[in-house]
Structures are given as C-alpha cells and as structure tokens.
C-alpha cells in the first residue's frame, strides 16, 4: 500500500445539493452565499457536536466521516430537520435541499480523503435519495436499528452503478413533515390548483319500448345510477337536474360533455317486450367520443324494483374500474411536467396494485407531489396511508405499529376534507386491525360498505379485517361479493388474494390452492407463494410446498416464518400457529 494510505472500517456520509446547477444558473451569487451560510451556521456545528469531519468537498457535495453510525445518522437527520426550518419562508424554486446517503464500509484513507467501495456505495445511495430525506445501506442499518427512536422505511434491493451486488436500502422519509408542512403558495403565486377528479354525466336512458308507461322505469334506472355513482368518492357526478335537461334530445355527446364540463358520459336505453327487458349502456370518453365500455343486459321482468336495483348495481360496479383504467391510460400519455394533483394520485393508484417494496415507495413519492400542489388533498393523504398499511402487512415496515399510527393520522386529515372518503376509511380500518383494534376496524370497513356497497375495494377490505377478527364465514361472503362486483377492476388481484386467504381461514384449503394457482397465472409478480405453500402442505403435497418455498427464498432470501406472520395481524392465535406450522413443514426457516 502506498505511503500515507491506510484501510479502516468507518461510517461514510455522502451529501449533495439537489438541483444545484439550476439554482446557480438562476442566481449564482445568492445560491453560493446561501450555501456558505448553511455550512457555517448549520452543518459544521452539527458535525462538531456529533464527532464528524469533512473528508472532501467539491462544489455542491460533501463527503463526511463519523466514527459511529449512530452519530452519523443523528447528525444527518438534524441537518435535514434544520434545513426544513431554514427553508420555511424560502420560495420553493430557491430552496437548497440536501440529499444524504450513508454507508458503513471498508475505505482507503489517502491523507484526509477517503476512497473505495464503501465511499462509492454512499455516493450511489445519495443519488437515489429524495431531497430532504436520508437513505442508508443495510450495513449501516444493522448498526443502529435497535439504538435510535427513528422510523425507517424498508426500501428494496437496488442495483447500484459499478457495484457488483444489489444493495438493500433503508429510508428516513419525513412523512409527517411532508403532510403537515407541504409546500404552501407564496403571496404572489395565486390560488393552489385543485385536483381534477374525473367527472361524469349520466344522460336519461331512452325508452325504446314505444310505451309511455315504461318511461318511469327508464327514468328510474337513470336516477338510481346518478345516486349510486355519486357514492364513489373519487369522481364527480353531474346532478340529475342538469342531466335531465337533455332528455329526448339527440345532441352530440361531445357537445353535451363540453356544456356540462365532464370528461365521461354514460348513456343507455331500455326496451321491453312482453315479460322481457333489454337494457343497454355505454360509457363514452367525451374527449374523442370513443367508447370505453358497453354492455347489454337481457332480463325477465318479475319485480320491476328488484330489476331496477340489479341493473343499477351491475352498471355502476362495471363503470368505475373502466373509468379508473381510462384515467391511468390518460396520465400515461401526459407529460409529467403537466401533471396536476389528480394526475399524481392516479399514477399512485396504478402503482399500489403492484404490491412490492419499490411500488409502495413510488406511491408515497407520487402522492407527495400531489400534496405539494394541493396541501391537505384527501385522495393523496389516503393513498399514502394505504401504502403504509400495506407495507406493514407485507413485512416491509421497520415498525408495524408506527406505520399503522402514521396511516391513521393521515386518514384523519383526509376525512376532515371528505368524511365519506372510502379510500381513507379503508386505510384506517387496516391500521386499526394492525393495532389490534379489531372491532373498530370492522366498524370502519362496514361504514365503507354502507357508503358504497358497489365498490369492490370496500368489500375485500372488509373481508380482510373480518379475517383478522376471526369471522371467517362472513369474510368468505364479503370476498366472494368483492370478486363478483368488479372482475375487471385494476385492483382485482387483491380480491383474488383475499378470496384465497378467506377460504383458508374457513378450512376450505383446496379452494385456497385453486385461487393461489389462479392468482399466480394471472398476476405473475403478486407475492402469494407463502400462502400457496401453506395450502400445498395442508393438501398433502409437501414436496410441491418445499419447492414453492425454495422459489420464494430465491427472490426473497431473508424471508422467515416471523416475517410472513406479520402479514396476518390476526386475533386468533390458533390460526397463526396453524399457518406457521405449515410454513415450517414447507421448509421456511424461523
């Protein structure tokens, strides 16, 4: 080794200023002055207090060294909290925000400078970091996980440039700070843009029977559809008085949409012949007049009110997933710089279906951008809350209890904006179940179903918390209703999983196995292997179960029975014992 160089194990902190070139380009003198002020007044005093030193600096970046990972993280979080306070009254476009990556590793010390893979990993982590947050490697996390009262979000294994093996990362994301102190408009910024939820007009269904007495039936279906669609909290339905102004007119749908200010139009017709009724309905995208969905229903007319209820439920349950998919396609074709708050929420909703560590992080990032546009936006708060509960129930949270508490806190904010926000009530119910508040969780989800019995999300969420409470037969009933309501919904994979789990808890293990296999076939990446392995063991197919666990460990080598148990915060100890015993029989380590 060259003279003056030595190897040592140390804690490395890499930090830089996000968007530094843009800031300098806008106002070089002011940016450099602010940078010096932050270093002298905040960074250097905190370094001294935590026994850190500057190993290298270059323009907008620092390389820091600490003898202790605990001190490095305390210092880094203090820097980020201090910068948030210093930026409080600074316009968003002029704020200096740090990105901080931390690693514990072997380095080569060349004089005061540090070199080697330990440094490279810290620098790569810094590049993955959101401004204002802290990201650390798994090596660093192991040094501090039981020693600091800090909530860490388990990220994922990231491919890091020029590093041979993927790096497991952990993130400190100031979620509460993001929610409570979201970017506020400056005095000259004008009004905050509102989230543009999709809107729909239900035009009066045409009476094609030639019988004036049947007019009340076609009008009744229209009115019931307006009422039922209004129960979906994430889109707006034009009032009956406006829609019925077009009754009997043959107006171009694009003209109607423009006059009513809606994105979607639902129209249909009713034709009665003897004891039979044919009802047609079609959903149209008003931007181009294209058909999104159409269906024909042929029924026998026994009880007119029962038929009216059946048709209303069928049509409204079919429409909302088609609108959701249309909204996702719309945002995919839109440039991100033109996104409004609703666009970010739509993208977050699309990502939450992909149940993975990475997708949950992306959900929070996308919804966080919606909050920057529109503080206290209930839809964004709700989906962040749901991502926390799903992470907790998937074993990805460092602290399940704290994740649930954060989720409940966020849903309270969302429900202040809209007490009928079913997405918020879903997340609250999951959070309550994680905390062992089973009766309250069931009450929250029953409130969801009462608000909108035609939304499948509400049904499978209720099924899940009923499982946690131990009401297995009731859970099966709700799971089956969820699947039947919206078989084409973006979130139908969750209905599949809840169906499989509900059958398992009710003792119908062969049905569980059937649904696990179907889920794997239709949703290749959905994590259901552990439940399939349990079902295989209990169906007597132990060797197949062991192969399933080998497949699981190939993609998740750290999986254990303890981690898998965390997806079942159930009241019934016998259920947990049964599940765990089958996992062990399949070869999953404790």
Is residue 126 predicted with pLDDT exceeding 70?
yes
Element (H, E) at 63: strand 61-66
Mean pLDDT score of the chain, rounded to an integer?
80
Is residue 437 predicted with pLDDT exceeding 90?
yes
Mean pLDDT, rounded, for 288-295:
76
Q: Which residues pair with 147 in a beta bridge?
A: none
395-406 in b/e form (b: 16+ CB < 10 A) is: bbbbbbebbbbb
pLDDT one-digit tens code per residue, 127-145: 777 788 888 888 888 888 7
Most confident of the ranges 162-171, 266-275, 517-526, 541-550:
541-550
User: What is the pLDDT, as a whole number, of residue 487?
Assistant: 62
Q: What are phi and psi of 546, to 5 degrees?
A: -65, -35
User: What is the pLDDT, as a whole number, of residue 529?
Assistant: 85
* DSSP classification of residue 202: E
The count of other CB atoms within 10 Å of the CB of residue 37 is 12
Collapsing DSSP to helix, strand or coil, 415 comes out as helix
pLDDT one-digit tens code per residue, 72-116: 998 998 898 888 888 877 887 788 889 899 988 888 887 777 888
User: What is the pLDDT, as a whole number, of residue 196?
Assistant: 65
- Within the chain, what is the greatest distance between any pair of CA atoms? 101
Is residue 424 predicted with pLDDT exceeding 80?
yes
Least confident of 19-23, 182-186, 263-267, 359-363: 182-186
Alpha-carbon distance values, 530 to 369, 414, 533 (Å): 34, 34, 5
Alpha-carbon distance values, 424 to 64, 385, 430 (Å): 42, 7, 10
Mean pLDDT, rounded, for 282-303:
78
Q: Give the chain's domains with CATH numbers.
A: 5-173 (3.30.70.1230), 199-318 (3.40.50.10610), 336-585 (1.25.40.10)
pLDDT one-digit tens code per residue, 404-423: 888 999 999 889 888 888 88
* DSSP classification of residue 90: S
Residue with the two structure tokens 């750290």? 558
Identify which has the larger pLDDT, 72 or 228: 72
Is residue 344 predicted with pLDDT exceeding 50?
yes
Task: For residue 564, name the pLDDT band (cuts at 50, 70, 90).
Answer: confident
User: What is the pLDDT, as a whole number, of residue 588?
Assistant: 87
User: What is the pLDDT, as a whole number, of residue 517?
Assistant: 85
> Rounded distance, CA 380 to CA 363, Å?
9
User: What is the pLDDT, as a whole number, of residue 175?
Assistant: 45
Is residue 448 predicted with pLDDT exceeding 90?
no
User: What is the pLDDT, as a whole number, of residue 164?
Assistant: 54
> Rounded distance, CA 68 to CA 144, Å?
9
Q: What is the DSSP string of 223-251?
A: HHHHHHHTT-TTSEE--HHHHGGGTT---
Q: What percent of the chain has pLDDT over 90?
A: 7
User: What is the pLDDT, as a whole number, of residue 149?
Assistant: 65
Task: For residue 179, name the pLDDT band (cuts at 50, 70, 90).
Answer: very low
User: What is the pLDDT, as a whole number, of residue 188?
Assistant: 32
pTM of the prediction?
0.62
Task: For residue 525, name the pLDDT band (cuts at 50, 70, 90).
Answer: low
Over 6-57, what HEC string results?
A: EEEEEEEEEEEECCHHHHHHHCHHHHHHHHHHHHHHHHHHHHHHCCCEEEEE
Mean pLDDT, rounded, for 289-301:
79
pLDDT one-digit tens code per residue, 474-494: 888 888 888 777 666 656 777
Least confident of 59-68, 157-166, 261-270, 457-466: 157-166
Q: What are phi and psi of 169, to 5 degrees?
A: -120, 155
């Amino acid at each position: 080794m060259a003279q003056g160089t030595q190897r040592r194990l140390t804690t490395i902190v890499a930090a830089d200023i996000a968007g530094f070139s843009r800031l300098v380009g806008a106002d070089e003198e002011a940016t450099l002055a602010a940078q010096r002020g932050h270093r002298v007044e905040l960074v250097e005093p905190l370094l001294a207090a935590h026994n850190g030193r500057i190993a290298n600096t270059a323009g907008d970046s620092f390389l820091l060294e600490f003898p202790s990972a605990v001190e490095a993280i305390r210092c880094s979080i203090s820097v980020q909290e201090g910068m948030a306070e210093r930026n409080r009254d600074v316009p968003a476009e002029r704020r200096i925000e740090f990105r901080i990556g931390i690693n514990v590793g072997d380095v080569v010390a060349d004089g005061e400078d540090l070199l080697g893979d330990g440094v490279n990993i810290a620098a790569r982590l810094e590049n993955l970091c959101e401004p204002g947050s802290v990201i650390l490697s798994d090596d660093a996390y192991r040094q501090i996980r039981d020693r600091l009262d800090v909530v860490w979000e388990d990220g994922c294994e990231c491919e890091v440039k020029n590093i041979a093996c993927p790096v497991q990362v952990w993130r400190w994301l100031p979620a509460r700070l993001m929610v409570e102190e979201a970017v506020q408009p400056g005095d000259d910024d004008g009004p905050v843009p509102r989230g543009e939820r999709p809107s729909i007009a239900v035009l009066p269904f045409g009476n094609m029977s030639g019988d004036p007495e049947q007019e009340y039936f076609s009008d009744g279906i229209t009115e019931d559809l307006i009422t039922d669609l209004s129960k979906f909290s994430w889109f707006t339905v034009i009032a009956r008085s406006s829609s019925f102004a077009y009754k009997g007119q043959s107006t171009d749908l694009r003209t109607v949409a423009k006059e009513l200010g809606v994105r979607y139009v639902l129209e249909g017709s009713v034709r009665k012949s003897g004891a039979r009724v044919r009802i047609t309905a079609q959903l149209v995208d008003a931007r181009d007049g294209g058909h999104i969905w159409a269906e024909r229903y042929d029924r026998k007319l026994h009880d007119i009110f029962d038929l009216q209820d059946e048709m209303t439920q069928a049509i409204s349950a079919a429409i909302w997933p088609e609108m959701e998919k249309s909204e996702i396609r719309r945002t995919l074709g839109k440039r991100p710089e033109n996104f409004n708050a609703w666009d970010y929420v739509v993208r977050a909703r699309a990502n939450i279906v992909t149940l993975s560590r990475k997708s949950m992080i992306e959900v929070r990032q996308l919804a966080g951008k919606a909050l920057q546009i529109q503080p206290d936006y209930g839809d964004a708060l709700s989906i962040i809350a749901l991502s926390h509960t799903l992470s907790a129930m998937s074993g990805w949270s460092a602290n399940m209890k704290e994740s649930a508490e954060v989720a409940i806190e966020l849903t309270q904010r969302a429900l202040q904006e809209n007490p009928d926000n079913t997405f918020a009530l879903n997340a609250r119910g999951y959070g309550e179940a994680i905390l062992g508040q089973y009766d309250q969780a069931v009450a929250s989800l029953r409130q969801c179903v009462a608000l909108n019995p035609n939304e499948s999300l509400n049904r499978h969420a209720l099924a899940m918390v009923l499982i946690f409470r131990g009401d297995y037969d009731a859970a099966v009933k709700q799971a089956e209703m969820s699947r039947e309501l919206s078989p084409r919904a973006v979130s139908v994979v969750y209905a599949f999983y809840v169906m499989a789990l509900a059958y398992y808890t009710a003792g119908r293990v062969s049905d569980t196995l059937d649904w696990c296999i179907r889920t794997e076939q239709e949703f290749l990446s959905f994590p259901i292997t552990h439940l399939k392995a349990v079902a295989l063991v209990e169906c007597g197919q132990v060797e197949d179960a062991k192969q399933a666990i080998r497949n699981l460990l190939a993609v998740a080598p750290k999986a254990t029975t303890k981690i898998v148990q965390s997806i079942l915060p159930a009241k019934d100890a016998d259920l947990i014992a049964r599940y765990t015993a089958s996992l062990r029989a399949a070869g999953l380590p404790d």
